[in-house]
Structure 1
Amino acid sequence: MDLFRTSLLAANLVAAAIAPAWAGATTLTTAHGPVEIVRTPETVLTFDIGTLDTLDALEVAVAGVPDPILLPTLAHLQESGLPKIGTLFEPDFEQVFALHPDLIIIGARSAGQMDPLSKIAPTVDLTLPLDDLENAVVTQTRELSALFGKEEKGAELTAHLQDSLQTLRALVEGKGRALIVLTNGPKISAYGRGSRFGWIHDSLGVAPAIEDLEVSTHGEAVSFEFLHETNPDWLIVLDRGAAIGADSQSAQATLDNELVASTTAMQKGQVIYLNAADVYVATTGIRSFQRTVDQFLTAFGG
């Protein structure tokens, strides 16, 4: 039967069998437009860690996992004996084919694999826009929960996230300006509105310390002098090395500098070292997003 009904993807998505569509067809919002799925998939693979986080939160089983997953809270899947289906970037096509999936999910890092994976099984790109992260994550969680008959769990997860965000936005108001920095060994990049991590300002309500940062996937390379001159009230830190398991200089070591130490953020102890994998690897997962919000709630006194 046809798993999908969509004019946009009909040329690429081939169904495995022919049978009547079930009554509760579900529409998924994808990077290529809406896709209607007309039956519940039974053998699911995802190369997107944010989606894997959400599926696991919804208690939806997958038939295989990427290797490495990089998200410590999903270590149970890494160690479960499930088949390894490739990396976040490069599928193991033979293994994917051998598992006979009836739905493959890609996103972000794996988005470029749409065409080859679509030749194996119906494939959807669930890459989410980051400019309205709350709405994107809530919508995707609700759609996936409907697809797999987990509506009650989905409603619980999304309600908790939305309540937490409402509380956080009230807490951060008037609490000062923040600068988001990513360390990569000894290197430092800063991020502002509209950037990869700009949702921290836009969705969480944290005021930016500077408005004219370069909008770039990799941020704007900055110096210790820049941090000193910007003098943020809050410093929000991501450690790329920690996120990807690299043996590199830690963010704490990189920022152990007299110029940085003199900033208001350091002087007041207002430095938030975010769980790097949650933000860098699994930004759009319902639980990873919730954990990030919880970190901010703790830091701002919630």
Structure 2
Amino acid sequence: MDFKKFYLMLAMAVMLVLGACGNGEETAEEGAETDEAGAEESSQETIAYENKFEMGPARGEEGDTTEVNETIELPKNSDKVAVYDLGVASTFKALGIEENIIGLPKGDNNASLSEVNEEFASDEYANLGGLKPDEFETLAELQPEVIMIHGRQSNTQTIDEMKAAAPDAEIVFVAADNNNYFQDIMDMTTFLGEMYGVQDKAEELVADMQTKIDVVNSTVTEADKDMLFIQTNGGDLSFHGEGGRYGFLYNDLGFTSAGEQSEGETTDNHGNQVSFEFIAETDPGVMLVMDRGAAVSEGEATPVDVVKNDVTAGVDAVENDNIIQLNPQSWYLNSGGYLSGMAQLEEIEAGMAEME
């Protein structure tokens, strides 16, 4: 017998057996790792969110709105959230969970961010463009797990673009309703507290906001002055009354509108166009003035003195300088969140403290 050839064949056989065993063990390990990863993914804890809103037709088009009413499961503690509602972005910040935001619509040169949201100007947060987005490449690059939208994005065109860019993301409407404004802000604060395990902080914030609402309501009620909310936009004047975009001023804070409205009438979302004669006729005891133009364009701001002229000279609010100038970013672009809502309350409180 050729023992040399025999031992060579035996050695090769042993190597084949060992190799097969090794591959089997490696395959088993890989399978175990895959199973473990799958189990971990499937066991990710979620929280239910009631997603209710009206989805309008594509921007610039006419058509019926679609009622969206669904319950969506959102991943708890998600660190891949795109927030298109700048008010809600301020709620993340108030809760100390802003690092979970990966992108938001800052606008050109961060023009959309109010003072309470200035932290988001950092390059740590991607810029998703304008509040009415027209590009979605950045969103596609980020691949968020959750997209939080406002009324400005709740149309078929924008939502379809978002779905195409981030097909695995859950898209939820988070804007505060004008008719339930502060309660919606507090409810969202509570929800995010539960989503990120900071319930104690959320409870503290909600209690502080309710206290501030009560204080401002008391101050407004004691002053007992009819109020006129005027929005300026270049040379145009608009009036915001009861039941409109800023209905919470009357419902929650106790103001009485100086502008006459028929029963059930509400002012337009951008206000009803009025004249200086209208201001003179209504003769408000206090005026709130907000410059929308300063918030949405790079043009020069309209000075609050625009409401002071020969026509309005005899108006109580003008004579006594009972005019509160509102921050347009907080009131128009970043409204509906915790810090922006508190900023609104503090502006009213400070202004009313100076009333004569």
TM-score range, shorter chain: 0.7 to 0.9
2:181 corresponds in structure 1 to 133
1:117 corresponds in structure 2 to 162
Q: CA deviation at 1:152?
A: 2.2
2:105 corresponds in structure 1 to 66
* Whole-angstrom CA distance in 2 between matches of 1:249 and 1:133: 27
Aligned residues: 285
Q: 1:55 pairs with 92, 105, 118, which one?
A: 92
SS of the residue 1:128 aligns to: coil
* Whole-angstrom CA distance in 2 between matches of 1:29 and 1:263: 46
2:137 corresponds in structure 1 to 94
One-letter amino acid matched to 1:193: E
Identity of aligned residues (%): 24
Q: Which runs of 5+ in 2 are unaligned?
A: 1-39, 54-67
2:32 corresponds in structure 1 to none
1:183 corresponds in structure 2 to 232
Q: CA deviation at 1:284?
A: 0.4
One-letter amino acid matched to 2:142: L
2:20 corresponds in structure 1 to none
1:224 corresponds in structure 2 to 276
Aligned partners of 1:214 and 1:220 also within 8 Å: no
> 1:209-263 deviations in whole A, cap 9, x for unaligned?
1241752112111111110111000101111122235313514242231222321
* Whole-angstrom CA distance in 2 between matches of 1:274 and 1:220: 18
Cα 1:234–1:253 change in 2 (3 A) is closer
Greater mean deviation of Cα atoms: 195-204 or 160-169: 195-204
* Whole-angstrom CA distance in 2 between matches of 1:214 and 1:172: 22
Aligned partners of 1:30 and 1:127 also within 8 Å: no
CA RMSD of superposed structures (Å) = 2.1
Aligned partners of 2:294 and 2:301 also within 8 Å: no
> 1:8-62 deviations in whole A, cap 9, x for unaligned?
xxxxxxxxx950242x634355433443325332211111111111112222221
SS of the residue 2:178 aligns to: coil
Aligned partners of 1:65 and 1:78 also within 8 Å: no
Q: TM-score, normalised by structure 2?
A: 0.74
Task: Work out which of the two has the higher radius of gyration on C-alpha atoms and give 1 or 2.
Answer: 2
1:25 corresponds in structure 2 to 47
Cα 1:163–1:257 change in 2 (3 A) is same
SS of the residue 1:250 aligns to: coil
User: Following superposition of structure 1 onto structure 2, how do residues 1-302 of structure 1 map, counting pairs within 5 Å?
Assistant: 19-22=42-45, 25-28=47-50, 30-31=52-53, 32-33=68-69, 34-60=71-97, 61=99, 62-68=101-107, 69-90=112-133, 92-112=135-155, 113-119=158-164, 120=166, 121-174=169-222, 175-212=224-261, 215-301=267-353
* Whole-angstrom CA distance in 2 between matches of 1:86 and 1:243: 15
* Whole-angstrom CA distance in 2 between matches of 1:48 and 1:28: 17
* Whole-angstrom CA distance in 2 between matches of 1:295 and 1:179: 16
* Whole-angstrom CA distance in 1 between matches of 2:84 and 2:349: 30
More helix by proportion, 1 or 2? 2
> 1:79-108 deviations in whole A, cap 9, x for unaligned?
334322222111532211111211111112
* Whole-angstrom CA distance in 1 between matches of 2:299 and 2:173: 31
* Whole-angstrom CA distance in 1 between matches of 2:47 and 2:175: 21
Greater mean deviation of Cα atoms: 219-228 or 171-180: 171-180
One-letter amino acid matched to 2:153: S
Q: TM-score, normalised by structure 1?
A: 0.87
> 1:182-224 deviations in whole A, cap 9, x for unaligned?
0001110001111112221112111111241752112111111
Aligned partners of 1:111 and 1:127 also within 8 Å: no
Cα 1:79–1:196 change in 2 (3 A) is same
* Whole-angstrom CA distance in 2 between matches of 1:148 and 1:29: 18
